[in-house]
Amino acid sequence: MKIAGFQKLTLLDYPSKVACILFTQGCNFKCPYCQNSGLIGHENEVLIPEEEIFEYLKKRKGVLDGVVVSGGEPTVQKDLAIFIKKVKEMGFLVKLDTNGSNPDLLKKLIDEKLVDYIAMDIKNILTLYKEVAGVSPSVNKLEESINLIKNSGIDHEFRTTIIKNIHDINKIKKICEYVDGDTFFLQNFEQSENVCDKKLESFSTEELIKINKIIKKEFPNVTVRRI
């Protein structure tokens, strides 16, 4: 598997777990707000050998609870299931971060009990992905992934990075409808040196409080982060 980044410890990326996180190389989306834009393209970049990760994990048995597989988009990796299986055989929990574009692979991972937690990004109204993901993925596939995850019986969350220039309150409400009643986080966009589009803006604290108030009335399951 193509691994372009590895963080030995994270207390933030796997809810209630102590984990490490690895970032796979490449993505099938081109989000202008991507915080990991360095992982997209750059096929000649030096990658981290899988053996290095397994060596580290061997030494961390009993210390780490799990491994977060993030990206890039992990499901574009052809050998993702094989890699995860090895991690599971070592006794670690696995959390997968995904953009939901590959429901077939998600189904395989769920059916074979290879994932313990899935976090899926819902980037926009499903028919309007182009304006935020730079591509127009199959709406059917995105819906399939949402339904698979909702009904998987495993821990999961959905989340949307909300961007002031793109997501108005009506769009946000519409996105919330896709996962009504399920765990859903709205997280404020943050501009940074890794973000390609420097014109994108985050919501102010006051605006987030307002959004939170409106959304909570209709969707009490939704949590607005970074207020």
* 3-class state of residue 147 by DSSP: helix
Is 176 within 8 Å of 126 (Cβ atoms)? no
The smaller minimum CB distance to ligand SF4, of residues 37 and 83, is found at 37
x-marked contacts with ligand SF4 along 49-88 as a string, rule CB under 6 A: ----------------------xxx---------------
31 binds ligand SF4 (CB under 6 A): yes
CB nearer ligand SF4, residue 14 or residue 29: 29
Interaction of residue 122 with ligand SF4, rule CB under 6 A: no
For residue 216, report the phi and psi dihedrals to the nearest 5 degrees.
-60, -30
Q: How far is the CB of 153 from ligand SF4 (least distance, A)?
A: 25
Task: Using the rule CB under 6 A, give the single segment among 7-15, 22-30, 78-86, 215-223 that binds ligand SF4.
Answer: 22-30
| Binding segment toward ligand SF4, per CB under 6 A, in 25-33, 105-113, 137-145, 209-217 | 25-33
Residue of 4, 22, 40, 175 interacting with ligand SF4 (CB under 6 A): 40
Using CA atoms, how far apart are residues 31 and 112, in angstroms rounded to an integer? Answer: 30
Buried b (16+ CB within 10 A) or exposed e, 141-165: bbebbbebbbebeebbbbbbbbbee
- Give the C-alpha separation, 113 to 126, whole Å: 28
Query: Which residues are within 8 A (CB) of 198 and not within 5 positions of it... i.e. 6 or more apart?
Result: 191
Residue 206 neighbours by CB distance under 10 Å:
9
Binding-site ranges for ligand SF4 (CB under 6 A): 27, 29-31, 34, 36, 40, 71-73, 99
